[in-house]
Amino acid sequence: MLPGYEYIHSFLDESTGLTVSSKFVLPLYQHIVNVRHPNMAFLGVVKQVITRVMDAQDHYFANLINEGGVVRATPVLTEIRDFNAKNRLDDLLNYRDYDYETQDNNHYDRKYNPRPENTCPVL
């Protein structure tokens, strides 16, 4: 939790089975699901957002996906996301002008497709 910020959960009462304070909400499985009422979930109950922590959560999300029986995205989508993140830094003004087409679960084509309506007004 960042200094100066506190959780306020005035909408929760004793029927939720949760212990709530300005610093925490317990018991939540994986910081999301109310252990006593599994149909109740919290999204965004975090203490800090740090880029490295978010990167390290790939395994955390993989476990949630496996436990929930959700079909994972194909590896090619991860490749596109990672490439686009780097490309955004290398070509900030034009990175949105690329189209991606998946070929299979592991390969994609990338094509430059400039869009006049999205031209940077600074240039």
Domain range summary for the chain, segments of one domain joined by +: 14-68, 75-118
What is the distance of C-alpha 42 from the center of its chain? 14
- The mean per-residue pLDDT over the stretch 106-122 comes to 75
Query: What's the pLDDT at 119?
Result: 55
* Burial class of residue 66, CB neighbours in 10 A (0-12, 13-18, 19+): exposed
Question: Which one has a higher pLDDT value, 26 or 46?
Answer: 26
Evaluate if pTM is beyond 0.85.
no
d(CA 4, CA 102): 45
Query: What's the pLDDT at 1?
Result: 39
Query: What's the pLDDT at 117?
Result: 63
Question: Which one has a higher pLDDT value, 45 or 88?
Answer: 88
